Amino acid sequence: MQIAHPYLLFLGDVPDALAAKTAIGIVDWRRDWCIGQTRLDGCAADTGLPDRTIQEGAQNGARTMIVGAVNAGGLLPGHWVDSIVEALDAGLDVASGLHVKLASIPAIHEAAERNGRMLFDVRHNTETFATGKGTKRPGKRILAVGTDCSVGKKYTALAMDKAMNERGYTSSFCATGQTGVFISGRGVALDAVIADFISGAAEWLSPAREENQWQVIEGQGSLFHPSFAGVTMGLLHGSQPDAFIVCHEPTRTKMRGVETPLPSIQQVIDMTIACGKLTSPDIRCIGIAVNTAALTEEDARSYLAGLSAEYDLPATDPVRFGMETIVDRVSQEFGAP
């Protein structure tokens, strides 16, 4: 799956920014891939991109319209279908992160056929994966793991990949979730893979590289989340990381969506090593990435300094303070670029 850019981001008429978080994530990381946003009457989300009709998007060179918003209930409203058909008729491919398959809707399927355009459903994999093999492959890999879901693993991995490249390492980002796939133009929504093939899909998406080439892999779930730990485990085994970064949100007390208490950072480090060494015997933690949005800058600095002393690891907020200290740790542990 390789999604062509420039993108036109379709936001529909969603009632708030949260419903458009996929589009907002794309703009955060790939503004230069985006030529505009298309919003229907009543849309309350705004990515900050220029508003364009679908026709204007096509005239300005857009190659793919991304359905970057989710409506309530996960279904595709009739007037969104009309917009998607219009995009296909205007010569764009269409990519969606919705649960419903674009091609399952006859009007969309027919419009794609009629125009010879591609439909991408990033929540539905068309790739056939082998089961994971666990054989150590060359190249260096960093995985973002978390004390919970939605604690900044994608952001951390993207920021780490960017910082690594800026410091002279050869690094690429491996997407494992839908927004990440749009940001990188390829990847696998791991949570949508058939269970038998989780680690195999993770092996596929972070393949063998030269020994001095790095891949930074977006994490999924948490080994301590009772809904999603199976995905996390398969990703850990399949990506066989040389190093991992623990992502954390300090104000949370329960795992997202359930009543399970949050684990400590130490528990996550210990369990990630205990499980991860099956396929990566020297796996180690190289840093802690914290979403400190709820803290003042002074409190955030103090909190991170405390974590750093407690764990003997660099601790940072990727948004506020960057990833330099964790790249320093890579340099210390694995050598300069």
How is residue 254 annotated by DSSP?
A: B
Residue of 112, 105, 110, 69 whose CA lies nearest to 87: 112
Coil vs helix vs strand at 120: strand
Residues 24-63: x/- map of binding to its own copies (CB under 8 A)?
----------------------------------------
Pairwise CA distance, residues 107 & 202, whole Å: 34
Instruction: Give the one residue of 23, 27, 223, 327 binding its own copies; rule: CB under 8 A.
Output: 223
Q: What is the largest CA-CA distance in the chain?
A: 62
Instruction: Give the one residue of 259, 281, 296, 312 binding its own copies; rule: CB under 8 A.
Output: 259
Pairwise CA distance, residues 171 & 159, whole Å: 11
CB nearer its own copies, residue 1 or residue 192: 192
- Angle, vertex CA 319, rays to CA 289 and CA 169, nearest 5: 70
Residue of 139, 130, 131 whose CA lies nearest to 280: 139
Contact 55, 30 (CB under 8 A): no
**198 makes contact with its own copies (CB under 8 A):** yes
Instruction: Give the one residue of 257, 294, 302, 310 binding its own copies; rule: CB under 8 A.
Output: 257
CB nearer its own copies, residue 196 or residue 310: 196
Strand partners, 289: 247, 316
Of the listed pieces 6-14, 63-71, 72-80, 275-283, which binds its own copies according to CB under 8 A? 275-283
Instruction: Give the one residue of 72, 78, 116, 135 binding its own copies; rule: CB under 8 A.
Output: 135
Positions 224 through 253 that interact with its own copies (CB under 8 A):
224, 226-235, 237-238
**191 makes contact with its own copies (CB under 8 A):** yes
Least separation in angstroms between residue 120's CB and its own copies is 18
Cα torsion 294, 299, 259, 75 to 10°: value is: 20
**271 makes contact with its own copies (CB under 8 A):** yes
Contact 236, 275 (CB under 8 A): yes
CB nearer its own copies, residue 172 or residue 227: 227
Q: Tally the residues of the chain.
A: 337
How many chain residues bind its own copies (CB under 8 A)? Answer: 39
CB nearer its own copies, residue 156 or residue 280: 280
Contact 200, 189 (CB under 8 A): no
Pairwise CA distance, residues 337 & 155, whole Å: 23
Residues 62-101: x/- map of binding to its own copies (CB under 8 A)?
----------------------------------------
**193 makes contact with its own copies (CB under 8 A):** yes
Tokens, residue 332: 């210390």
Residues that bind its own copies (CB under 8 A): 131-135, 190-196, 198-200, 223-224, 226-235, 237-238, 255, 257-260, 271, 274-275, 278-279
